[in-house]
Amino acid sequence: MTLERLQEAEVVLQPWLSGRSTPRELTLFKAELQRRNGQPESARRSLHLLLQLHPNDLQVLQLLVLLDQELGRQRQVTAELTTRFMGLEPGQRLEIGLLLADLLRQGGSDQTAMKLYGQLATENKTDARPLLALALLQQERGDSEAVHTLLKQARERRNFNGRINPLIDVVSAQLGLSAARSTGSESTSATASLEGSDRP
């Protein structure tokens, strides 16, 4: 979409965005248009208004992180996200924790990111995503043994239907591995499940 058409889209959306009951999706879309139109401060204002209504909305936070990275505010947004993460109870902060860990990794703080992934894996024993993220990071570091161990641990986590997270095979394929499959019998004692395991 060209800049001119993006600007036209923002104008068309404006009447929908004038009321107090503006749908979250429209405001989020407006912020994205503002970001693409080269209006970062307007986009930040839109996102912070959304955060007043939805303090820990993951999509809003993801766009805010992207925007602040583009503005060179990596350090500031990392500090803000850390404060937000610390203000939540274990079990309620997985999504934000994964976002924070990825931000730390992108900023070169691999050790801190690894520690956070491990913490999230401990806090969320029914979710394989922290283990998968940690496996990807270990692959970047060239630690194949750790990758296989983490994928095996992730495969042991099952949802309430006894199913494993399909993302495990996706990650294994991306890493060029045959997949850390357990050779033993299927254990019914596994307690894990992946929140949003049907996500692509």
Output the pLDDT for position 195.
Answer: 31
If pLDDT is split at 50, 70 and 90, which confidence band does 159 have? low
Considering the domain delimited by 94-181, tell me its CATH architecture.
Answer: Alpha Horseshoe (1.25)
Task: Write down the number of H helices and E strands in the chain.
Answer: 10, 0
Every domain of the chain and the residues it spans: 1-10+26-72, 94-181
Residues contacting 115, CB < 8 A, separation 6+: none
Residues 23 and 49 sit within 8 Å (Cβ to Cβ): no
Residues contacting 158, CB < 8 A, separation 6+: 164, 190, 191, 192, 193
Q: pLDDT of 73-106, one tens digit each?
A: 999 999 999 999 999 999 899 999 999 999 999 9
* CA–CA dist 108, 114 (Å, integer): 11
Indicate whether this model's pTM tops 0.85. no
Output the pLDDT for position 175.
Answer: 77
Percentage of the chain exceeding pLDDT 90? 55
Output the pLDDT for position 22.
Answer: 62
* CA–CA dist 139, 159 (Å, integer): 26
Specify which of 114-118, 158-162, 166-170, 196-200 reaches the highest per-range mean pLDDT: 114-118
If pLDDT is split at 50, 70 and 90, which confidence band does 17 have? low
Q: Which residue has the higher pLDDT, 90 or 166?
A: 90
If pLDDT is split at 50, 70 and 90, which confidence band does 8 have? low
Q: What is the mean pLDDT of residues 106-114?
A: 95
Output the pLDDT for position 192.
Answer: 28
Q: Which residue has the higher pLDDT, 200 or 127?
A: 127
**Average pLDDT across the chain, whole number:** 80
- Residue 200 clears pLDDT 90, i.e. is over it: no
* CA–CA dist 72, 14 (Å, integer): 29
Output the pLDDT for position 178.
Answer: 44
Output the pLDDT for position 61.
Answer: 96
